[in-house]
Amino acid sequence: MSGLEGRVAFITGAARGQGRAHAVRLAQEGVDIIAVDICEDVASMTYPNASEDDLAETVRLVEKEDRRIVARKADVRDFQGLSEAFNAGFAEFGRVDIVLANAGIIRMGSESDDFLADWNDVIDTNLTGVFHTVRAALPALREGGRGGSIVITSSTAGLKASASLHASGMAYASAKRGLVALMQGLASSLAPEWIRVNTIHPTGVATGMTMNEAMMKLFEEASAGGANSISGMQNALPIEMLQPEDVANAVAFLVSDEAKFITGTEWALDAGFMIR
Protein backbone atom coordinates (compact mmCIF):
# COMPACT_ATOMS: atom_id res chain seq x y z
CA MET A 1 0.00 0.00 0.00
CA SER A 2 1.35 3.40 -0.96
CA GLY A 3 2.23 6.09 1.52
CA LEU A 4 2.00 4.17 4.81
CA GLU A 5 5.69 3.89 5.71
CA GLY A 6 6.46 5.95 8.83
CA ARG A 7 2.85 6.62 9.77
CA VAL A 8 1.24 5.94 13.15
CA ALA A 9 -2.09 4.21 13.82
CA PHE A 10 -4.23 4.35 16.97
CA ILE A 11 -6.20 1.09 17.30
CA THR A 12 -8.77 0.11 19.91
CA GLY A 13 -9.65 -3.49 20.71
CA ALA A 14 -6.13 -4.37 19.61
CA ALA A 15 -5.44 -7.39 21.83
CA ARG A 16 -6.98 -9.97 19.50
CA GLY A 17 -9.26 -10.50 16.51
CA GLN A 18 -9.73 -7.68 14.03
CA GLY A 19 -7.81 -5.16 16.13
CA ARG A 20 -4.73 -7.37 16.28
CA ALA A 21 -5.02 -8.15 12.57
CA HIS A 22 -5.13 -4.43 11.79
CA ALA A 23 -2.04 -3.79 13.92
CA VAL A 24 -0.03 -6.56 12.29
CA ARG A 25 -1.15 -5.76 8.75
CA LEU A 26 -0.31 -2.08 9.09
CA ALA A 27 3.01 -2.92 10.75
CA GLN A 28 3.85 -4.92 7.63
CA GLU A 29 3.38 -1.67 5.70
CA GLY A 30 5.75 0.28 7.97
CA VAL A 31 3.20 1.75 10.41
CA ASP A 32 3.91 2.18 14.14
CA ILE A 33 1.05 1.34 16.47
CA ILE A 34 -0.69 2.82 19.51
CA ALA A 35 -2.74 -0.13 20.79
CA VAL A 36 -5.36 -0.23 23.52
CA ASP A 37 -7.69 -2.90 24.85
CA ILE A 38 -9.87 -3.28 27.93
CA CYS A 39 -8.17 -6.62 28.80
CA GLU A 40 -10.92 -7.59 31.22
CA ASP A 41 -14.42 -8.99 31.01
CA VAL A 42 -17.66 -7.01 30.96
CA ALA A 43 -20.09 -8.52 33.45
CA SER A 44 -23.18 -8.28 31.24
CA MET A 45 -21.54 -10.11 28.35
CA THR A 46 -21.60 -13.90 27.89
CA TYR A 47 -18.08 -14.48 26.52
CA PRO A 48 -14.60 -13.54 27.74
CA ASN A 49 -12.82 -10.47 26.47
CA ALA A 50 -9.15 -10.42 25.57
CA SER A 51 -6.52 -10.61 28.31
CA GLU A 52 -3.33 -8.71 29.05
CA ASP A 53 -1.46 -11.73 27.69
CA ASP A 54 -3.37 -11.30 24.42
CA LEU A 55 -2.28 -7.67 24.24
CA ALA A 56 1.31 -8.72 24.92
CA GLU A 57 1.04 -11.12 21.98
CA THR A 58 -0.07 -8.25 19.73
CA VAL A 59 3.02 -6.35 20.87
CA ARG A 60 5.20 -9.33 20.00
CA LEU A 61 3.67 -9.72 16.54
CA VAL A 62 4.07 -6.02 15.70
CA GLU A 63 7.66 -5.98 16.90
CA LYS A 64 8.29 -9.11 14.82
CA GLU A 65 7.52 -6.88 11.81
CA ASP A 66 10.27 -4.53 13.04
CA ARG A 67 7.83 -1.77 13.99
CA ARG A 68 7.34 0.07 17.26
CA ILE A 69 4.24 -0.24 19.42
CA VAL A 70 2.95 1.38 22.59
CA ALA A 71 0.25 -0.81 24.14
CA ARG A 72 -1.90 0.16 27.09
CA LYS A 73 -4.84 -1.30 28.95
CA ALA A 74 -7.78 1.09 28.59
CA ASP A 75 -11.58 0.96 28.44
CA VAL A 76 -13.11 2.97 25.59
CA ARG A 77 -16.01 3.81 27.93
CA ASP A 78 -13.55 5.79 30.10
CA PHE A 79 -12.57 8.89 28.13
CA GLN A 80 -9.88 10.01 30.57
CA GLY A 81 -8.20 6.61 30.69
CA LEU A 82 -8.42 6.21 26.93
CA SER A 83 -6.95 9.68 26.37
CA GLU A 84 -4.05 8.88 28.71
CA ALA A 85 -3.34 5.71 26.75
CA PHE A 86 -3.40 7.60 23.45
CA ASN A 87 -1.20 10.37 24.84
CA ALA A 88 1.40 7.81 25.96
CA GLY A 89 1.71 6.61 22.37
CA PHE A 90 1.62 10.10 20.93
CA ALA A 91 4.41 11.17 23.27
CA GLU A 92 6.51 8.27 21.97
CA PHE A 93 5.87 8.73 18.26
CA GLY A 94 5.07 12.44 17.94
CA ARG A 95 2.32 11.95 15.38
CA VAL A 96 -0.86 10.08 14.51
CA ASP A 97 -2.18 9.51 11.01
CA ILE A 98 -4.70 6.68 11.28
CA VAL A 99 -7.47 6.01 13.79
CA LEU A 100 -9.15 2.59 13.79
CA ALA A 101 -12.11 2.64 16.18
CA ASN A 102 -12.54 -1.11 16.37
CA ALA A 103 -13.49 -2.08 19.95
CA GLY A 104 -16.95 -3.58 20.30
CA ILE A 105 -19.03 -6.06 22.32
CA ILE A 106 -22.38 -7.87 22.20
CA ARG A 107 -24.24 -10.17 24.58
CA MET A 108 -24.78 -13.58 22.96
CA GLY A 109 -27.86 -15.58 23.84
CA SER A 110 -30.80 -14.58 25.97
CA GLU A 111 -31.32 -11.26 27.69
CA SER A 112 -30.03 -11.06 31.26
CA ASP A 113 -32.14 -10.13 34.28
CA ASP A 114 -30.52 -6.68 34.15
CA PHE A 115 -31.59 -5.71 30.64
CA LEU A 116 -30.52 -2.10 31.21
CA ALA A 117 -26.94 -3.24 31.80
CA ASP A 118 -27.15 -5.26 28.56
CA TRP A 119 -28.25 -2.14 26.69
CA ASN A 120 -25.97 0.39 28.38
CA ASP A 121 -22.75 -1.64 28.15
CA VAL A 122 -23.22 -2.18 24.41
CA ILE A 123 -24.18 1.43 23.67
CA ASP A 124 -21.41 2.80 25.90
CA THR A 125 -18.78 0.60 24.21
CA ASN A 126 -19.92 0.42 20.60
CA LEU A 127 -21.17 3.98 20.11
CA THR A 128 -19.95 6.26 22.89
CA GLY A 129 -16.63 4.38 22.95
CA VAL A 130 -16.09 5.17 19.28
CA PHE A 131 -16.87 8.84 19.93
CA HIS A 132 -14.34 8.77 22.77
CA THR A 133 -11.74 7.15 20.51
CA VAL A 134 -12.09 9.75 17.79
CA ARG A 135 -12.26 12.61 20.28
CA ALA A 136 -9.10 11.45 22.06
CA ALA A 137 -7.02 11.37 18.87
CA LEU A 138 -8.62 14.03 16.68
CA PRO A 139 -6.85 17.12 18.07
CA ALA A 140 -3.43 15.58 17.40
CA LEU A 141 -4.54 14.28 14.01
CA ARG A 142 -5.73 17.74 12.94
CA GLU A 143 -2.73 19.57 14.37
CA GLY A 144 -0.42 17.38 12.31
CA GLY A 145 -1.66 19.10 9.17
CA ARG A 146 -0.97 16.03 7.04
CA GLY A 147 -4.53 14.79 6.66
CA GLY A 148 -5.32 11.28 7.78
CA SER A 149 -7.81 8.45 7.85
CA ILE A 150 -10.39 7.35 10.41
CA VAL A 151 -12.02 3.95 9.96
CA ILE A 152 -14.91 3.00 12.23
CA THR A 153 -15.86 -0.66 12.58
CA SER A 154 -19.60 -0.99 12.22
CA SER A 155 -21.33 -4.20 11.09
CA THR A 156 -23.85 -5.52 8.60
CA ALA A 157 -26.21 -4.82 11.52
CA GLY A 158 -25.45 -1.15 10.94
CA LEU A 159 -26.97 -1.48 7.46
CA LYS A 160 -29.75 -4.00 8.13
CA ALA A 161 -30.83 -4.95 11.64
CA SER A 162 -31.90 -8.51 12.37
CA ALA A 163 -35.12 -9.21 14.23
CA SER A 164 -34.51 -8.87 17.95
CA LEU A 165 -36.40 -8.02 21.13
CA HIS A 166 -33.36 -8.53 23.35
CA ALA A 167 -31.80 -5.39 24.81
CA SER A 168 -28.27 -6.27 23.70
CA GLY A 169 -29.28 -7.13 20.15
CA MET A 170 -31.28 -3.93 19.78
CA ALA A 171 -28.44 -1.93 21.33
CA TYR A 172 -25.90 -3.52 18.99
CA ALA A 173 -27.85 -2.65 15.84
CA SER A 174 -28.69 0.81 17.13
CA ALA A 175 -25.06 1.55 17.97
CA LYS A 176 -23.75 0.20 14.68
CA ARG A 177 -26.31 2.26 12.74
CA GLY A 178 -25.49 5.30 14.86
CA LEU A 179 -21.85 4.97 13.82
CA VAL A 180 -22.88 5.74 10.25
CA ALA A 181 -24.30 9.10 11.31
CA LEU A 182 -21.20 9.80 13.38
CA MET A 183 -19.01 8.94 10.38
CA GLN A 184 -20.98 11.11 7.98
CA GLY A 185 -20.80 14.16 10.22
CA LEU A 186 -17.08 13.73 10.74
CA ALA A 187 -16.37 13.03 7.07
CA SER A 188 -18.18 16.17 5.94
CA SER A 189 -16.56 18.37 8.57
CA LEU A 190 -13.01 17.07 8.13
CA ALA A 191 -12.84 16.69 4.35
CA PRO A 192 -11.30 20.17 3.81
CA GLU A 193 -8.39 19.02 6.00
CA TRP A 194 -7.86 15.84 3.95
CA ILE A 195 -8.98 13.72 6.89
CA ARG A 196 -11.07 10.89 5.50
CA VAL A 197 -13.68 9.05 7.56
CA ASN A 198 -15.40 5.79 6.59
CA THR A 199 -17.28 2.92 8.20
CA ILE A 200 -16.71 -0.75 7.44
CA HIS A 201 -19.53 -3.27 7.79
CA PRO A 202 -18.21 -6.82 8.12
CA THR A 203 -20.33 -9.93 8.12
CA GLY A 204 -19.40 -12.54 10.75
CA VAL A 205 -15.67 -12.62 11.47
CA ALA A 206 -13.81 -15.42 13.28
CA THR A 207 -12.81 -13.56 16.44
CA GLY A 208 -13.26 -13.90 20.17
CA MET A 209 -16.71 -12.32 19.81
CA THR A 210 -17.91 -15.19 17.60
CA MET A 211 -15.67 -18.15 18.45
CA ASN A 212 -16.81 -18.90 21.98
CA GLU A 213 -19.13 -21.17 23.95
CA ALA A 214 -22.08 -18.76 23.89
CA MET A 215 -21.95 -18.48 20.09
CA MET A 216 -21.51 -22.23 19.66
CA LYS A 217 -24.79 -22.77 21.53
CA LEU A 218 -26.53 -20.40 19.12
CA PHE A 219 -25.03 -22.23 16.13
CA GLU A 220 -26.21 -25.58 17.48
CA GLU A 221 -29.71 -24.24 18.12
CA ALA A 222 -29.94 -22.70 14.64
CA SER A 223 -28.60 -25.87 12.98
CA ALA A 224 -31.34 -27.86 14.71
CA GLY A 225 -33.97 -25.59 13.16
CA GLY A 226 -34.45 -23.26 16.07
CA ALA A 227 -35.05 -19.55 15.68
CA ASN A 228 -32.50 -17.27 17.31
CA SER A 229 -30.45 -14.14 16.61
CA ILE A 230 -28.23 -15.89 14.03
CA SER A 231 -30.61 -18.42 12.46
CA GLY A 232 -31.38 -16.21 9.44
CA MET A 233 -27.82 -15.08 8.80
CA GLN A 234 -26.09 -16.46 5.73
CA ASN A 235 -23.62 -14.98 3.26
CA ALA A 236 -24.22 -15.10 -0.50
CA LEU A 237 -20.68 -16.31 -1.13
CA PRO A 238 -19.94 -19.79 0.25
CA ILE A 239 -17.96 -18.35 3.17
CA GLU A 240 -19.20 -19.13 6.66
CA MET A 241 -17.08 -16.43 8.26
CA LEU A 242 -14.40 -13.97 7.26
CA GLN A 243 -10.97 -14.14 8.85
CA PRO A 244 -9.69 -11.06 10.68
CA GLU A 245 -6.94 -10.76 8.05
CA ASP A 246 -9.59 -10.39 5.33
CA VAL A 247 -10.92 -7.28 7.03
CA ALA A 248 -7.40 -6.01 7.79
CA ASN A 249 -6.43 -6.22 4.12
CA ALA A 250 -9.41 -4.06 3.19
CA VAL A 251 -8.63 -1.54 5.93
CA ALA A 252 -4.98 -1.33 4.87
CA PHE A 253 -6.19 -0.22 1.44
CA LEU A 254 -8.74 2.19 2.87
CA VAL A 255 -6.19 4.06 5.01
CA SER A 256 -3.57 4.18 2.22
CA ASP A 257 -2.97 6.91 -0.34
CA GLU A 258 -4.47 4.59 -2.95
CA ALA A 259 -7.84 5.36 -1.35
CA LYS A 260 -7.21 9.11 -0.97
CA PHE A 261 -10.48 9.91 -2.77
CA ILE A 262 -12.69 7.73 -0.54
CA THR A 263 -14.53 9.36 2.35
CA GLY A 264 -18.02 9.26 3.82
CA THR A 265 -18.68 5.69 2.65
CA GLU A 266 -20.30 2.63 4.22
CA TRP A 267 -18.21 -0.27 2.94
CA ALA A 268 -19.94 -3.64 3.25
CA LEU A 269 -17.25 -6.28 3.79
CA ASP A 270 -19.95 -8.90 3.86
CA ALA A 271 -19.37 -11.80 1.44
CA GLY A 272 -22.65 -10.80 -0.18
CA PHE A 273 -24.69 -10.89 3.03
CA MET A 274 -26.54 -7.70 2.13
CA ILE A 275 -27.80 -9.00 -1.22
CA ARG A 276 -29.54 -12.05 0.21
Catalytic residue ranges: 172
Task: Tell me how far CA of residue 63 lies from CA of 42, 69, 106, 149, in angstroms.
Answer: 29, 7, 31, 23
In whole angstroms, give the CA distance from residue 79 to residue 90.
16
> 3-class SS at 68?
coil
Cα atoms found within 13 Å of the Cα of residue 244, Cβ hemisphere only: 20
Bridge partners, residue 266, by sequence = 199
Task: Tell me how far CA of residue 236 lies from CA of 1, 203, 215, 233, 239, in angstroms.
Answer: 29, 11, 21, 10, 8
For residue 66, the tally of other CB atoms under 10 A from its CB is 9
